[in-house]
Chains A and B, each alone.
Chain A
Amino acid sequence: DAGITQSPRHKVTETGTPVTLRCHQTENHRYMYWYRQDPGHGLRLIHYSYGVKDTDKGEVSDGYSVSRSKTEDFLLTLESATSSQTSVYFCAIRRELTGELFFGEGSRLTVL
C-alpha cells in the first residue's frame, strides 16, 4: 500500500470554514498528488508536488491550496469550504522507478 495514510477519513463541515486534509507517506517518495472524485466521475487532479516546497496546479485547483514542508506530508487546504467541494479526496504517490501511482484510502468531505 506504499505506506500512505490520509486523515481525516471522514469530515463534515459548514460552508465558509477552513479545512485541511493530510496525506502522510512513509517511503520517501518525491511525487505526491491530490485528486478529487465526484459521484459517477473519474479522478480529477487538484495539485501535485515534486519535492519539498515544490508544488503545481492540476486541472481543478481553484479554491484549494497545498503545502509540502517535509517529504512525508502533503497537505490540502480549503480556505473557505463550499458545497461544491463536497467530494472524496484521494492522495497518491508515484514510484519513480516504475511510474505507477499508489493511492490512499480517501477522505470523504461533506460541506453543508
Chain B
Amino acid sequence: DAKTTQPPSMDCAEGRAANLPCNHSTISGNEYVYWYRQIHSQGPQYIIHGLKNNETNEMASLIITEDRKSSTLILPHATLRDTAVYYCIVRVDTNAGKSTFGDGTTLTVKP
C-alpha cells in the first residue's frame, strides 16, 4: 500500500470549513483513498473514501486531484465535536486489503 503524508496538526474556527490535506504521490491506479477519524481514545471511525472522483456524504467531502497524488478532506462546517485525529490511508480494495495508518492530522476546532 502507498504511503501517505499528512500535516501533524491543524486548527480551524468553529463554523468554518476544515480542509485537511493528504499527499499520496506513490498511489497506484487500483488504490483507494480512505479517511478515518479518531476522537479521544475511541476506535477510529470511517468517514469517506474514493478512487478518482470527488465524493460527498453526510459527514464530509473528498476531493482527489486529477493525478491522484493528493487529496483533501473537507468538513464543511466544523464543530467542536470534529476535534479529532484524522487519518488518510490508501490501499488496494481487494483481498485482505490490510490498511496501514500513519500518525494522522490532529484537527483542533476552536470556538
Contact = CB atoms under 8 A, between A and B. Distances in A.
Contacts of B44: 43, 90, 92, 101, 103
B43 A42 contact: no
B76 to A, nearest CB: 21
Contact of B100 (A41, A45, A94): A45
Interface stretch (B13-21, B65-73, B91-99): B91-99
Size class of the A contact interface (CB-based, 8 Å): 20 to 34
Size class of the B contact interface (CB-based, 8 Å): 20 to 34
Contacts of B85: 42
Contacts of B95: 50
B46 A102 contact: yes
Contacts, number: 60
Contacts of B99: 33, 45, 101
27 contacts: A33-B98, A35-B101, A40-B103, A42-B85, A42-B87, A42-B102, A42-B104, A43-B101, A45-B98, A45-B100, A50-B95, A50-B96, A56-B98, A58-B98, A88-B41, A90-B43, A92-B43, A94-B96, A100-B34, A100-B49, A101-B44, A103-B43, A104-B43, A105-B42, A106-B41, A106-B42, A106-B43
